[in-house]
A and B are shown apart, each in its own frame.
Chain A
């Protein structure tokens, strides 16, 4: 049943076949493929990139903050804020006791894997790991027009002057639950994390809007 052209990968983004159809150039990391670029990519001012195969992990439970504090992790002080870590990963505080750690764009930050390893080893009290690498797909919307584009899909005011760097909105984008995180590490960017099963739907909706704003889908190279 499997396609002969399919690379021998175990982890495949929900958009894997879409990327293949566009003729994407992939990079293999471990058992995972990442899109480097598409053939028609032209450094657009507004871009949409699939980071779903990038590492990420979540922790929740009333003991979470205490455990993270013990590990000297730089934690956001209030819910719905994100804090960048020294290795470039981004720790997003989704609620009082729930955190989400996103890898950096190069997918080489040691913290996500290290935290998961420590959690498995220590089994901290009332702190539970969440499989965010699989429960959610991860996209990144980059460009000065990103907020204007999102204003047709999301009722939250995401304009830079209102939605500060590091802000988080857990909201509805095109009628599907989405975590929106602003991250200006390399210009105005929004991380969008949606339920993995809705990834293809949301990707198509977003891409249609991105295209209307003169943007296009890009691979990882465009962001780095």
Chain B
């Protein structure tokens, strides 16, 4: 309902998934989507149903624990090189800044869908504390639970998602003060990692490569069933020259549901 089909088709291109996707559809609101990650913890992957060859020593993604890389680290330089190359490549195929940002956004989107599953999976298997139910509480401590309302969703992004990606929470979370745009929320990152090693030429000063991260956020929102458009904007301050604001605009259907849920007392 949220996105036109082509987007999901995009994310499926590498994880052409197979039969057992339905068994864990409760993890994701969009049942047609399955990621390789979520399949890894299934006890008996039905490899026979796929045409894929597997190594005889069974070094497949199904045989590795999903939390294996949970606390793993890699070089920041490697990320910078890859991200830089991704931007350069995208730049060759676009018509302008907006187009470039759209492309970066599209590349982040499938990551959001996957990270969402990963976050939930780790919450479920990690700590089983029931305090998870009060997911609207704070952005710091409690593990994420599947959000039904906008605020818990935003906290999920601001806290757990940001920590997973950047090992720290985002710097601010705000609601639009304008009465005309109650559907707009802002998440601020004072110093986005993705922009650290990107130098933008003067004539492209509008460009913000954190559009990639905006795409990730959009994927998370959509994956939760919150249709949204997310964009990244430069808002430099003297202290934080690469400060970036992620503007989340939720769709009408989301806002309507929000009202219904509020009346029903759902948190």
Q: Are A and B physically bound partners?
A: no
Residues of B participating in the A interface, judged by any CB pair closer than 8 Å: none
What is A's interface to B at a CB cutoff of 8 Å? none
